[in-house]
Structure 1
Amino acid sequence: MTNRRLEFRALHHAGRPLLLPNAWDHASAAALAARGHRAIGTTSLGVAAAAGRPDGTGATAAETLALARRLRRLPVLLSVDVEAGFSDDPAAVAEYVTELAGLGVVGINLEDGRADGTLADLVDVADKVAAVKAAVPDLFVNARIDTWWLGVDDPMPQTLARARAYLAAGADGIFVPGTVDLATLRVLAQRIEAPLNALYQPAGPGLDDLGRAGVARVSTGSLLFRAALAAAVAVADGVRAGGLAVPARPVVPAGLTVSPRPAVLDGLPSYAEVQGLAPAGGD
């Protein structure tokens, strides 16, 4: 196992979670690195929207690989969101992830939600996990379970069954986006024998509370991309309305406490709204 992959694995602490901010291009990743984030993920929605393609449909394999290639020289540990692996063939998924690993990527997210809003077959996803781990044994495979994200009925039993199957196939962590209910996360953390990843929500609990619930990793997902998009539109609207003074290099004072929901998030585009920016067919 490479030192970088060992370091990334060691950052996952129950009780003191890793904050993994998600970048969508070189500039956002470089800015996060400059602010001291040792580990950074990518956001599939941000990558897809920036390319004018739909998210979650397997349309951005080339863009995702190109982004990883651009980020390889940054002083960060990079985890890449590969959606569902950009293929239904486990061997093809493993081949793609092997290419990412060759660029220095230390981890991936592999999801089981499908573009039609249903869950993929559990065995099929487990086969992809097993193929990736056979090809790159020391890569951190974060298996994403979309039961809460897709709003399935009675999600807990399905989540635990899928977690067991994915861990048996070799997954290193389990990502359950869509819930930040602390009682639910405690049950998941207690019953899943691997680092638990939660998706941060602006109106939800903070890092300390999530850590106390047993979460070992907190991702921002598309939040940063959507916040940046909202801020850019707000600035353009302000200029059009008569002028808006924007500092060339915004400075965050030392010790600044950010409110749970910063004002810029009031007009935050939703996931669906950002998806709607991509033309039909992703062209």
Structure 2
Amino acid sequence: MTDRRATFRALHHTGRPLLLPNAWDHASAAALAARGHPAVGTTSLGVAAAAGRPDGTASTAAETLALARRLARLPVLLTVDVEAGFSDDPAEVAGYVAELAGLGVVGINLEDGRADGTLADPGCVAEKIAAVRAAVPDLFVNARTDTWWLGVADPLAQTLVRARAYRAAGADGIFVPGTVDLTTLRLLTERIDAPVNALYQPGGPGLDDLGAAGVARVSTGSLLFRAALGAALAAVDAVHGQAGTAPVGLPSYAEVQDLVPADGA
């Protein structure tokens, strides 16, 4: 297990950043693994929406754990989005993450944004990070700060303050979704002494430009899940309109069947 976590950690480097696609169920993760991605993350929005629950409300701890149990059998390094840890008690967060680690998970994403649109106290988040670090020392803890995501005042200053606190508590990486401005990202990567994770935005900079700005990891977040929903609606609209053409890249029945273990476990 330590070797797998070390391998995942080594994927975070400047230059060509790690592209981390985010899955929401077994089929999506298996398809991404089959496409050759060395690591796959989960998306909390996709997991929550698939379960009929709202995202970011600490209501999908059981669903997230069950999904991790299924995905752990795939030939891919797995990191899990645990929202804010599904608890404000650092010991409970650490216990939950230790359970994930026991399944083979190599990393987590832990955020400081709250469901009410505010940021959690950085000291509280740091306590959670420290508890997780103590429980699973070699797990990759990606600390997400929602300063830009929530549109707070002076996001750069707040991001740097929070990044320092989270790093001091033991975070391995800092995730700053909501900005793809290359000048801003370059400042962040210069001032944060850890791999910086950016959220890809359609129409924004590509991997080469993000890498040139010092970004070490690029996540797709909920993009793939939302794209899948959009493709489903487009496909049914085509049927309704009797367009008669299959969507480009549509997997066959047999190809989808091949993503599932033969024993169905």
TM over 0.5: yes
Query: Residues of 2 paired with 1:136 and 1:33: CA distance?
Result: 25
Tell me which amino acid in the other structure corresponds to 1:234. Answer: A
What pairs with 1:132-143 in structure 2 (closer than 5 Å)? 132-143=132-143
Shift of 1:250: 3.8
Residue 151 of structure 1 aligns with which residue?
A: 151
Matched, 1:104 2:104: yes
CA contact (8 A) 2:122 2:162 kept: yes
What CA distance in whole angstroms lies between the structure 2 residues aligned with 1:53 and 1:25? Answer: 15
Query: Is contact 2:91-2:131 (8 Å) kept?
Result: yes
Q: What are the superposed Cα offsets for residues 217-259 of structure 1, whole Å, 9 maximum, x if unpaired?
A: 00000000000100000000110112432169648xxxxxxxx
Amino acid at match of 1:181: D
Distance 2:52 2:243 in 1: 29
User: In structure 2, do the counterparts of structure 1 residues 117 and 16 end up closer, same or farther at CA, with 3 Å as the change threshold?
Assistant: same
The separation in 2 between residues aligned to 1:191 and 1:15, in whole angstroms, is 17
Say if 2:56 is the partner of 1:56: yes
Task: Give the match for residue 201 of structure 1.
Answer: 201
Corresponding pairs, count: 251
Partner residue, 2:221: 221
Q: CA deviation at 1:184?
A: 0.1
- 1:93–1:207 CA distance, 2 compared to 1 (3 A): same
Distance 2:248 2:193 in 1: 47
Q: Which residue of 1 aligns with 2:235?
A: 235
Task: Tell me: CA distance 1:123–1:194, structure 2 relative to 1, closer, same or farther (3 Å).
Answer: same
Contact 1:39 1:78 in 2 (8 A): yes
Q: Identify the residue that residue 72 of structure 1 maps to in structure 2.
A: 72
Give the letter aligned to residue 165 of structure 2.
A
Q: Which amino acid in structure 1 is aligned with residue 137 of structure 2? A: P
Find the counterpart in structure 2 of residue 13 from structure 1. 13
Q: Map Cα deviations across residues 127-181 of structure 1 (whole Å, 9 max, x no partner).
A: 0000000000000000000000000011011100000000000000000000000
1:238 & 1:79 partners in 2: Cα distance?
A: 36
Counterpart of 2:45 in 1: which secondary structure?
A: helix
Aligned-residue Cα RMSD (Å) equals 1.2
Tell me how far apart the structure 1 counterparts of residues 138 and 249 of structure 2 sit (CA, whole Å).
40
State the secondary structure of the residue aligned to 2:85.
coil
Q: Does 1:83 align with 2:103?
A: no
| CA distance 1:164–1:155, shift in 2 (3 Å) | same
Contact 2:235 2:247 in 1 (8 A): no
Contact persistence 1:235–1:244 (CA under 8 A): no
Partner of residue 177, structure 2: 177
Partner of 1:32: 32
Paired with 2:123 and 2:247, the residues of 1 have a C-alpha distance of 52
Q: For structure 1, which runs of at least 5 residues remain unmatched after alignment?
A: 252-283
Query: Partner amino acid for 1:104?
Result: G
Q: Which amino acid aligns with 1:10?
A: A
TM-score with structure 1 setting the length: 0.87
| Other structure's SS at 1:234 match | helix
Which segments of 5 or more consecutive residues in structure 2 lack a partner in the other structure? Answer: 252-265
DSSP 3-state at the match of 1:80 = strand
My pick for the range that moved more, 96-105 or 239-248, is: 239-248
